[in-house]
Amino acid sequence: MPITDVPTISLATSVPRDPDALVVGLAETSEGDVLVGLPDEVAKAINKAFGTDLATVAGRLGGSSKNGRAVVVAGPGGARIVVVGLGPIDVTPEQVRRAVGSAVRLVAGLSAPSRQTVAISLETVEPQVIKGAAEGALLGAYSYRAAADVPGIGQFVLVSANRRPDAKQALDLAVTTAKAVNQAREWVNTPANLLFPETFADAARATARAARVDVEVWDEKALEREGFGGILAVGGGSTRKPRLVKLAYAPRGARFHLAIIGKGITFDAGGLNLKTPDGMYTMKTDMAGAAAVIAAVTAIAELGLRIRVTGWAAMAENLPSGSAYRPSDVLTMYGGKTVENGNSDAEGRLVMADALVKSAEEKPNLVLDVATLTGACMVALGERVAGLMARDDQTADLVLDAAEAAGEQFWQLPIPEDARPKLESKVADLKSTGDKYGGALTAAAFLSEFVPEETPWAHLDIAGPSFNSGAPYDYTPAGGTGSAVRTLIALAHALAN
């Protein structure tokens, strides 16, 4: 489960001598495409060897200024020159993050005699762009069980003319952030026979403690003693018993208390409402919210941000069995509300409800939950955009701004007034499911019932973006993506004093 052989990254004001690969850019301007970051002596050597300039050579190989398009050209002394499209020249941090990610994925997959040194030369100066480039490199270099036949990347050297401390600060922030994202990816990718509530809680404890975060774990007995009826019902069908994990980071002088709650279903078979084979296959990703929360709290503590952050991870495995909870069961949730189970595959909202109620006991200033909650959210927004729901637009905007700064795609969906009436039950305080329409919205309306009305709250549905079941692209690998980690860290950054 630990990630090994992580490449290092450092800043330099000029291209180092003899890198194994040199990444330069090709950007779009009104006067045509221009090369970005190519040192004069390399340009001269290329012109001499090919009789034309690097942009033309790259073009012949299929390269272009299209963002993320990357080709390799043989450079002087056998170095690989990677020409990567940046898109329009007035680059955003996300454009650079994606371009560098593409270039690095290309290099990481090439055979080499030993682990490669990769120089990235893109004329990055602004701290946010430096951060984007560094994150693109470290995120693009990740793959689950990296190919054994190539040595991969040993170190990155990021070339920047910025000698100010803000350059180094941006780099350090990027390193901590990327490490957290890659950790979340690794947990998601770890199959559910190896990562289940007990082992996931152990991993959370080890990771968070190393960052001096206080960790508390409720095992099944403690959950029973305190009446966590949602988590226990969902976890009841598995021999791997459920856990609730609390991570507390409370630095001196912090003025704001942020609570973040993650869905940690280590495998979602659908319970007695069994999923189809295709629908079930990727369901090791159903703990991605909890992975994001644990990774983000750890990173926030490592960064020493002056904000109190409490993370909660509700962990259970949703399997069908003789001890599984049934559709129509009435559950008593933590705090006493009763819920009629409409569908055992709507398990996420039940574990989240318990954790939300628990988290509110500390009266945080803002509650944020992160969950791979509904297929309906994917129907609405596709696989790359996460849903954001809140009861007030101020809270929604706060999170949307953090997502924008982090380079993650979120789109606000409403919690319409007709959602709550769909959850009426004849036998309990409310039912867990509505009708077949607007499933992401009724799920949010359900969760809303478990957050005190006066507490600012936002719900992130990352069902789509948490897992890439297709080919890798930009800095996104196949499998777990680490969705929401960057947004959570950026939000804590924005709220810290």
454-493 residues in contact with ligand BES (CB under 6 A) are 463
Torsion over CA of 241, 250, 335 and 293, rounded to 10 degrees?
-50
Measured from the CB atom, is 24 or 463 closer to ligand BES? 463
| Minimum distance, C-beta of residue 197 to Mn ion, in the bound complex (Å) | 16
Measured from the CB atom, the residue of 69 and 263 that comes closer to ligand BES is 263
Q: Tell me if 345 contacts Mn ion by CB under 5 A.
A: yes
**φ/ψ of residue 485, rounded to 5:** -60, -50
Indicate which residue of 66, 115, 205, 275 is catalytic: 275
Q: Does 369 bind Zn ion (CB under 5 A)?
A: no
Catalytic choice (241, 308, 349, 422): 349
Residues 6+ apart with CB under 8 A from 41: 76
Question: Residue 374 interacts with ligand BES (CB under 6 A)?
Answer: yes
Question: Is residue 376 part of the contact set for ligand BES (CB under 6 A)?
Answer: yes
Give one DSSP letter per residue of 442-483, joined into a string.
HHHHHHHTTS-TTS-EEEEE-TTTTEE-S--BTTBPSEE--T
Residue span 396-435 as binding mask against ligand BES, x where in contact by CB under 6 A, dash where not: -------------------------------------x--
To 10 degrees, what angle do helices 165-189 and 288-303 make?
Answer: 150
Q: From CA 140, how far away is CA 123, in angstroms rounded?
A: 19
Query: By CB under 6 A, what part of segment 17-76 binds ligand BES?
Result: none
Q: How far is the CB of 435 from ligand BES (least distance, A)?
A: 10
Q: Which two tokens stand for residue 126?
A: 């602004």
Distance CA 251, CA 271 (A): 41
Binding of residue 314 to ligand BES (CB under 6 A): no
Give the per-residue contact string, 231-270, with ligand BES (x = CB under 6 A; - = no): -------------------------------------x--
439 binds, among ligand BES, Mn ion, Zn ion, none (CB under 5 to 8 A by kind): ligand BES
- Closest to Mn ion by CB, 345 or 354: 345
Strand 116-121 with 21-29, pairing: parallel
Q: Is 349 a catalytic residue?
A: yes
| 94 sits near Mn ion (criterion: CB under 5 A) | no
Mind giving me the DSSP string for 18-86? S-SEEEEEEEEETTEEEEES--HHHHHHHHHHHSS-HHHHHHHTT--SSTT-EEEEE-GGGPEEEEEEE
Figure out which of the listed residues 439, 465, 477, 479 binds ligand BES, where binding follows CB under 6 A.
439
241 catalytic per annotation: no
Torsion region of 35: left, alpha or beta (phi above 0 gives left; psi -120 to 50 gives alpha): beta
Kindly state the smallest distance separating residue 283's Cβ from Zn ion, in Å: 7
Contact partner, 428, from Mn ion, Zn ion, ligand BES, none, Cβ < 5-8 Å per class: none
Instruction: Tokens 């409409």: give the residue.
Output: 342
Residue 402 phi, psi dihedral angles, 5° rounding: -65, -40
Nearest-approach distance from CB 138 to Zn ion, in angstroms = 29
Half-sphere exposure for 36 (CA within 13 Å, toward CB): 28
* Site residues for ligand BES per CB under 6 A: 268, 285-286, 343, 345-348, 372-376, 378, 433, 439, 463
